[in-house]
Amino acid sequence: MSKRTIFEMINRAAEKYADKTYLSQKDDYGWVSTTFSQAREKALELASALIETGMVYQDKIAILSEAKADWIISEFGALYSGATMVPLSIKLLPEEIPFRINHSDTKLFFISENTLEKVISHFDKYEYKFLKLVVLDQPSEKIKRLCKKYNFDEKKLIYIEDLYKLGKDNFDKNLPKIKDIEKNISEDDVVTISYTSGTTGNPKGIMLTHLNYYSNSHEAVNTFKIKENISTLIILPTDHSFAHTVGIYTGLVKGLSLYFVDARGGGMNALKNIPKNLVEANPHFLLTVPALTSNFINKIKEGVQAKGSMIEGIFNRGLEAAIRRNGDGYTKPENSVRIATYLPYILAEKLIFKKLRQIWGKNIEFFVGGGALLDIKQQQFYTAIGVPVYQGYGLTEATPIISTNTPFQYKMGTSGKVLGGMTCKICDENGVEVKKGERGEIVIQGDNVMKGYYKNPAATEKTLKEGWLYTGDLGYFDQDDFLVVVGRSKALLISEDGEKYSPEEIEEAIVNSSELIHQVMIYNDHNKFTTALITLEEAKVKQWIKKQGNPNPEKLLGELGKELLLFRQQPEFKGKFPSKWIPSHFQVIEDVFSEENHLINSTLKMVRHKITEQYKDRIELMYNDSAQDAPKKKNLEILSKKFF
């Protein structure tokens, strides 16, 4: 049996799908394609160049770039040279990059014209003084201008085309070394070190191996029964573990054609180019996150409204009918419902839905949702118009897919069924497996489970126990064995697009800067904005009221709003936290969180999932668009009762 490695996948694809297009990206003249055999050839040339520049087995090579063909080839080339890849998020702030480069011991750094400024603006923070920068673009006036702006010697930049030439010129000399690396590589050797979205300067580096990627990509193909000769447009960044496995490596297994959104000129250009690129690429499926599907819904509704009240009426009645007809996707409604809804549905399908699907090209069949949990209303909407979103669940530590809905097993409101090749159980806080239907922590075991956290044995020990990965996510299995993910037991905020952030430092800043706020729990679970639950320093509040000369509850509420953001005036916190994680709404909680009410544990830490569950209604109030001034009324009611 051949070794289950990335090399085996690349070589097999290059032979089986040799002249088939694997990677396509736009230039000034149209789409430029790279076949599977060409991708391997270029990767081997790049490996030769990397060896020539001094890279050796297990050296680290980082990449910070928008998705493009050379991104993929750079990873393959790095692996063929024996190096380990460190993919970085293009969303990182310039000051967040040096820690990852330094901690990973990176010696060579692939960047693009779009990310150059982020890197050279903080170049003095990189500890390895011989760090090589390789630009995945041609020389340009913009690059010259940026180098001049930051007093960076442009001659230090290496351009990717020069690296390919170097590799080609020394190919015969270095090929035996590449073959030795391929022969001696282990399934357990690390392919990537992917950093978590840590916020206090210490994100964790997740080590994923050849076997991890091989296993998860093959199981994804088997579960979805993915056909050959289909294509997708890669909209998500390729450092994203979801796009990494389901795009790059699933593409190798089944010979998929990957088109990349035209991101020349930066992120805003990429967003503008999505509609045009969709129609040009005609993908069969798309990888998506809730923020993207939400944006599509808004555009669709705007377009329908612009067509007039008659079309809007047909659309709304058809949508409602289709949602009723589909049920939850797994259990279909009775025939009487399907008969009663047939006419409004079929009218909307023929007049509107069929045309709407053309937004994503002529071949679109479905979306695969990952990165963040998808609201059930979005699932209902897309299933109704004929392009279902098959929601999955996973995390980078699992490479990343743990479960997914598919065209063959689909239930809205769930994260689908667990992939083959792994075992998943739900455990209580003592690690004991609970019964079906009961909530607990999602724990998995399989070939997709990470090797550990790079240079962090303590964190590894907490997360990996006897081969089991403790995800920190809460969930349960329903009666049909679909996995339902209900939240996180770990303290992480999760934005609408799946980005994660640790709240403790912001919470500490708020409490330490305020006299009136006793405790604060910041909350964001796949929402557009962040909120907070606060408890009060009652004695201090009473002193404030007395000092103010008996003000009304409204004035106190206004003061609490100011106190919540007071930390931003402190020099040490100015500009420290991204605005999306700073609470924009809050609810006053009547009783403090304590050990007595089980909302504080023995180490005096907040038990977040219990607080979230207990005050679920208060949290929902802040996110309910139709609530209008209800959150304010509730706060005034609490304050009046306690202090006036």
Q: For residues 386-393, give the mean pLDDT.
A: 96
Measured in whole angstroms, the distance separating CA 506 from the mean position of its chain's CA atoms is 22
Q: Which two tokens stand for residue 594?
A: 């304590």
Q: Following CA atoms 353, 409, 323, 616 in sequence, which dihedral angle do they give, to the nearest 10 degrees? A: -130
628 has a pLDDT exceeding 60? yes
Gap between the Cα atoms of 346 and 326, Å rounded: 13
Rounded to 5 degrees, φ, ψ at 10 are: -65, -50
- Identify the residue whose tokens are 């669709």: 300
DSSP state, residue 634: H
Closest by Cα among 320, 341, 386, 295 to 312? 320
200 has a pLDDT exceeding 50? no
User: Radius of gyration over alpha carbons of the chain, in Å?
Assistant: 26
Express each pLDDT in 495-530 by its tens digit.
888 887 778 778 888 988 899 999 999 999 989 899
Q: Which two tokens stand for residue 256?
A: 């998929």
Gap between the Cα atoms of 99 and 96, Å rounded: 6
Mean pLDDT of the chain: 93
* Contact yes or no for 133/109 (Cβ under 8 A): yes
pLDDT band at 375 (very low <50, low <70, confident <90, very high): confident
In the prediction, which pLDDT does 573 show? Answer: 81
Gap between the Cα atoms of 279 and 225, Å rounded: 25
CATH of domain 391-488: 2.30.38.10
Beta bridge partners of 25: 32
Closest by Cα among 66, 67, 109 to 85? 109
Closest by Cα among 251, 223, 208, 211 to 420? 223
Cβ neighbours around 596 below 10 Å, total: 9
pLDDT band at 198 (very low <50, low <70, confident <90, very high): very low
Q: Which two tokens stand for residue 575?
A: 């500009």
**C-alpha angle 153/159/164, rounded to 5°?**
150
* Contact yes or no for 126/102 (Cβ under 8 A): yes
pLDDT band at 426 (very low <50, low <70, confident <90, very high): very high
pTM of the model: 0.82
Q: Which two tokens stand for residue 312?
A: 């809007």
Q: For residues 3-13, give the mean pLDDT.
A: 98
75 has a pLDDT exceeding 70? yes
Express each pLDDT in 409-418 by its tens digit.
999 989 999 9
In the prediction, which pLDDT does 601 show? Answer: 66
In the prediction, which pLDDT does 244 show? Answer: 92
pLDDT band at 604 (very low <50, low <70, confident <90, very high): low
Gap between the Cα atoms of 206 and 398, Å rounded: 10
- Chain length of the chain: 644
27 has a pLDDT exceeding 50? yes
In the prediction, which pLDDT does 199 show? Answer: 36
* Contact yes or no for 491/504 (Cβ under 8 A): yes
Gap between the Cα atoms of 544 and 542, Å rounded: 5
Fold match flag (6-279 vs 503-643): no
* Contact yes or no for 106/132 (Cβ under 8 A): no
Q: Between these two residues, 549 and 348, which has the higher pLDDT value?
A: 348
Q: For residues 28-35, give the mean pLDDT.
A: 96
DSSP state, residue 270: H
Q: Which two tokens stand for residue 115?
A: 């990310």
* Residues in contact with 308: Cβ distance below 8 Å, sequence separation at least 6, in sequence order: none
Gap between the Cα atoms of 588 and 576, Å rounded: 25
Amino acid at residue number 356: L
Express each pLDDT in 132-141 by its tens digit.
999 999 999 9
% of the chain beyond a pLDDT of 90: 78
> Would you list the domain boundaries of the chain?
6-279, 284-387, 391-488, 503-643
Q: For residues 365-390, give the mean pLDDT.
A: 90
CATH of domain 503-643: 3.30.300.30
Measured in whole angstroms, the distance separating CA 6 from the mean position of its chain's CA atoms is 23
Closest by Cα among 177, 188, 123 to 153? 123
Measured in whole angstroms, the distance separating CA 391 from the mean position of its chain's CA atoms is 13
Express each pLDDT in 441-496 by its tens digit.
999 999 999 999 999 999 999 999 999 999 988 899 999 999 998 777 667 788 88
Amino acid at residue number 132: K
pLDDT band at 626 (very low <50, low <70, confident <90, very high): low
Gap between the Cα atoms of 266 and 146, Å rounded: 15
Q: For residues 361-384, give the mean pLDDT.
A: 89
In the prediction, which pLDDT does 179 show? Answer: 97
Report the largest interatomic distance among the alpha carbons of the chain, rounded to a whole angstrom. 87
SS3 159: strand
Cβ neighbours around 185 below 10 Å, total: 20
SS3 204: coil
**Range from 99-108, 237-246, 461-470, 621-630 carrying the lowest mean pLDDT:** 621-630
Q: For residues 343-351, give the mean pLDDT.
A: 97
In the prediction, which pLDDT does 201 show? Answer: 44
Is omega for the bond preceding 400 within 30 degrees of 0, making it cis?
A: yes
Amino acid at residue number 561: G
Q: Following CA atoms 636, 638, 641, 644 in sequence, which dihedral angle do they give, to the nearest 10 degrees? A: -50
**C-alpha angle 171/176/181, rounded to 5°?**
110
**Range from 206-220, 292-306, 532-546 carrying the lowest mean pLDDT:** 292-306
Q: For residues 211-233, give the mean pLDDT.
A: 96
pLDDT band at 574 (very low <50, low <70, confident <90, very high): confident
CATH superfamily, with its number, for domain 6-279: ANL, N-terminal domain (3.40.50.12780)
193 has a pLDDT exceeding 90? yes
Q: Which two tokens stand for residue 113?
A: 């014209």
pLDDT band at 195 (very low <50, low <70, confident <90, very high): very high
Contacts 24+ apart (CB under 8 A), 392-396: 392/368, 392/416, 393/473, 393/475, 393/483, 393/485, 394/241, 394/242, 394/370, 395/241, 395/471, 395/473, 396/194, 396/196, 396/206, 396/208, 396/241, 396/450
**Parallel/antiparallel/unpaired status of strands 205-209 and 422-427:** unpaired
Cα separations (Å) of 446 from 216, 248, 377, 456?
Answer: 9, 21, 32, 21
**Parallel/antiparallel/unpaired status of strands 366-369 and 389-394:** parallel
Q: Which of 133-142, 259-268, 602-611 is modeled with the greatest confidence?
A: 133-142
Q: Which of 90-94, 150-154, 522-526, 576-580 is modeled with the greatest confidence?
A: 150-154
Closest by Cα among 532, 522, 514 to 573? 514
